[in-house]
Chain A
Amino acid sequence: MRVIPIEAQGADVAACHEEAGPVPKMDLPLARREFLRGSGILMGTLATGSVLALLAPSTAWALELKSLSTSEGQTLLAMGRTLFPHKKLPDAVYAILVKDLDAKADALQVLRDGVASLDRDCGGAGAFVKATPARRLLAVQAIEGRPFFNTVRGQCVTSLYDNDMAFAVFGYEGACFEKGGYIQRGFQDLKWLAAPPAEASPAPFAA
């Protein structure tokens, strides 16, 4: 789990569903720190009661960025969602993408310029994040194949799909050796087709 849990949360932040709720306001110390370091922070919450909330130590998460600003981080997060639009995948997973991009020092300028170009395409600073999904898709299609696009798309493949939350969302059970494999846990539990005859598929070994 590559998400930073934070404990202290204001009531409005904890209550905010990341997809539907209001954007949480940052308190002064954090904003001041961002100004001093030139870096941003992304925050959100996992829907309580979901299987994902059970995976995380806290339903609230925050991600400190080393190089990118909050606005740049939000744009890249939205670009990740445009490239690989999974309704059930929470922003916390797309934030992993932003964190991994933020760590690519040699790609920083490409990322900054790319974010600026997406915004320009959508009408000005911060416009990509506010645009409709269809408008975002057009903006991303327009840059397909460029270094910025390739950097973000390539990073998505490893950042979005190799973490416990993604496994849970997609129904993939991950490592299973500790559970004894699937020999007694459903490797042939499919019922909507007839079982093959024994000569094609012999019965499992019974110890």
Chain B
Amino acid sequence: MAKFGQDDDGLVVIIGSGAGGGTLANELCQKGIKVVVLEAGARQSIGTYIQNEWKSFGQLAWLDKRTTSGTWRVARDFPNLPAWVCKTVGGTTTHWAGASLRFQEHEFKARTTYGDIAGASLMDWPLTLADLDPYYARAEDKMGVTRTNDIPGLPGNNNFKVMYAGATRLGYKEVHTGRMAINSRPRDGRAACLQMGFCFQGCKSGAKWSTLYTEIPKAEATGNLDLRPECHVVRIEHNAAGRAEAVVYVDKDGNTQRQKARAVCVAGNSIETPRLLLLSASNTFKDGLANSSGQVGRNYMRHMTGSVYAMFRQPVHMYRGTTMAGIVRDEAVNDPKRGFVGGYELETLALGVPFMAAFLNPGGWGPDFAEYMDNYVNLAGMWIVGEDMPRATNRVTLNPEVKDKFGNPVPNVHFDDHANDIAMREHAFSVGQRIYAAAGAVKSFRTPPYPSTHNLGTCRMGAKPDDSVCNAYGQTHDIPNLFISDGSQFTTGGAENPTLTIVTLAIRQSEYIAKLMSIRAI
């Protein structure tokens, strides 16, 4: 592993090591570009991951204080935990379930397809599915996505059997074990899935793709990566010409450091990324970096989500095997006749007893709650995930009332469900319950959204500098050597789990950055 000097101003600094940052780092390193990755969290390994939900949560989750506002239920249930994302090398690719679906063509043209929806800030992406398809293909190959590249699908577990039986009885056609970045057979030096469950706690067999043990070691092997864990970035600095020139961070010993940079790529997930741009305000950029449009922090999306847990007379043992073991895709289409635009996916999900108690019905208690827990082995579960409407008022801002341990204002996450989100959730809850009823459920329960795992859109890409933060390559309109490299770039959310698209954009961005560097445009 390389060690570069703080005064080396010929390298690229990437903030964050997850799906966006970790992938971008490897792609740049493979092209011979020197990279420093600053990661706020510590480095774990498949050996140190813990198969206990609370202990793992303490090990991996981003637990720095955050505040919430708005009418979303998460603000009531988890006022200081708006998002369930990770602070560790590998970022949230340690925690993600592995679902790897391409966006649909119309989802890149949300404004054109859905029209002018009141109260939503819909916009078309500045790129199309055709632009991304070759990069999607490279991402799928890199991540080893099942049902692509001749990789067989994963075997379905008991939880999937229940979903399959119910969904097909209702006439759904596209029901299978998904496109998953989890090895169904050994590939790329990693083992096949052992069906352990605990996908959310870090995969102890390494079967699930995570940048921690794929992109990052491959980048380190080039000699071009200087990865610095436990280094929390507090500010991006610019020079008199308005170009990013250095990144200020606090290292693990509490010392403030300053790393020079030729280009800076921000991949801190969609809450920390806009927060950092806002924290970096200067006399030149009084509203924060790359924020001449006023869009930094706005259009925060979290996907329309919810879960359905159903009780059966006989055992399911849903926790055995891959957490997201199967999918129903038929409702992912855009069919406004259902009473909403956009679509949603239904994906199996399982929680262990500790998290089921915490998340089944936050705040719940009493005999009805206890009955679900008493019947834990007889439960099946699914997650619903659909496109939510971007709104300018759903946003990440700095909360001057609350400071973090470095004395900086913490991020506040404001969110109000759009009427379209509410109509879609109602539809999806109802379909989920019908699927389980068709499979013979005694009863089922509508579990409200968990803290957000899909955080998107707070530095959206767009064709015009006056209504977006970055261009189709994630390059900010205002500062040519400052890039957005995570899900913050998303113009709209689509119905699909976002990681594959984040990785795809990172691969594409790496080519663009390399080209700009070679022609000395940055």
Contact = CB atoms under 8 A, between A and B. Distances in A.
Nearest to A191: B314
6 contacts: A88-B374, A174-B52, A176-B198, A196-B161, A204-B155, A207-B192
Given A85-B370, A205-B184, A171 B193 contact: no
Contacts of B192: 205, 207
> What 6 A-B pairs have minimum CB-CB distances, sorted nearest first?
A181-B194, A201-B156, A175-B51, A181-B196, A187-B321, A161-B357
A196 B156 contact: yes
A190 B357 contact: no
B31 to A, nearest CB: 34
B352 A182 contact: no
A202 B373 contact: no
Interface residues of A, number: 47
A12 interface: no
A195 interface: yes
Interface residues of B, number: 57
Interface string A150-163: 00010011101110
Contacts of B32: none
Interface in B148-199: 152-158, 160-162, 164-165, 175-177, 184-186, 192-198
A188 B164 CA distance: 13
A43 interface: no
Interface in A83-126: 83-88
Interface in B237-287: none
Q: Point out which of B194, B321, B326, B376 has the most chain A C-beta atoms below 10 A from its C-beta.
A: B194
A182 B154 CA distance: 14
Contacts, number: 159
Q: Point out which of A83, A160, A170 has the most chain B C-beta atoms below 10 A from its C-beta.
A: A170
Interface of B is mostly: loop
Contacts of A177: 51, 194, 196, 198, 204-205
A153 B165 CA distance: 37
B205 A181 contact: yes
Interface string B36-52: 00000000000000011
A203 B51 contact: no
A177 B52 CA distance: 11
A199 interface: yes
Contact of B176 (A86, A185, A188, A201): A201
Contacts of A157: 357-358
A137 B365 CA distance: 11
Contacts of B370: 84-86
B196 A182 contact: yes
Contacts of A204: 155, 195
Given A161-B373, A177-B204, A190-B316, A200 B175 contact: yes
A36 interface: no
A161 B370 CA distance: 11
B354 interface: yes
Nearest to A178: B51
A41 B185 CA distance: 54
B61 interface: no
Interface string B354-398: 101110000101110110011011000000000000000000000
Contact of A199 (B176, B204, B373): B176
B320 interface: yes
A172 B376 contact: yes
A194 B374 contact: no
B357 A182 contact: no
Contact of A183 (B193, B319, B365, B439): B193
Contact of A190 (B152, B158, B204): B158
Given A88-B374, A157-B358, A203-B155, A187 B352 contact: no
A183 B352 CA distance: 18
Interface string B303-321: 0000000000011110111
A194 B153 contact: no
A14 to B, nearest CB: 28
B357 A202 contact: no
B353 interface: yes
A84 B192 CA distance: 40
Contacts of B316: 190
Given A182-B197, A201-B176, A86 B54 contact: no
A157 B154 CA distance: 33
Nearest to B317: A186
Q: Point out which of A83, A170, A176, A201 has the most chain B C-beta atoms below 10 A from its C-beta.
A: A201
Contacts of A193: 161-162, 165, 439-440
Given A84-B373, A182-B320, A201 B153 contact: yes
A187 B53 CA distance: 19
A97 B236 CA distance: 46
A113 to B, nearest CB: 20
A172 B353 contact: yes
Contacts of B194: 177, 180-183
B92 to A, nearest CB: 21
A201 B54 contact: no
B75 to A, nearest CB: 16
Interface in A123-148: 137
A160 B356 CA distance: 12
A172 B155 contact: no
A194 B161 CA distance: 8
A27 interface: no
Contacts of A180: 194
Contacts of A200: 153, 156, 164, 175-177, 326
Nearest to B319: A172
A167 B165 CA distance: 28
Given A195-B161, A199-B176, A200-B164, A190 B315 contact: yes
Nearest to A175: B51
Given A177-B51, A190-B315, A196-B160, 10 more contacts: A86-B370, A161-B358, A171-B315, A171-B376, A173-B320, A182-B194, A188-B155, A189-B317, A190-B317, A201-B164
Contact of A85 (B162, B205, B354, B367): B367
Nearest to A195: B161
Contacts of A187: 155, 157-158, 195, 317, 320-321
B54 A158 contact: yes
Contact of B365 (A84, A201, A203): A84
Interface string B195-216: 1111000001100000000000
A188 B197 contact: no
Interface string A62-80: 0000000000000000000
Contacts of B363: 153
A13 interface: no
Nearest to B316: A190
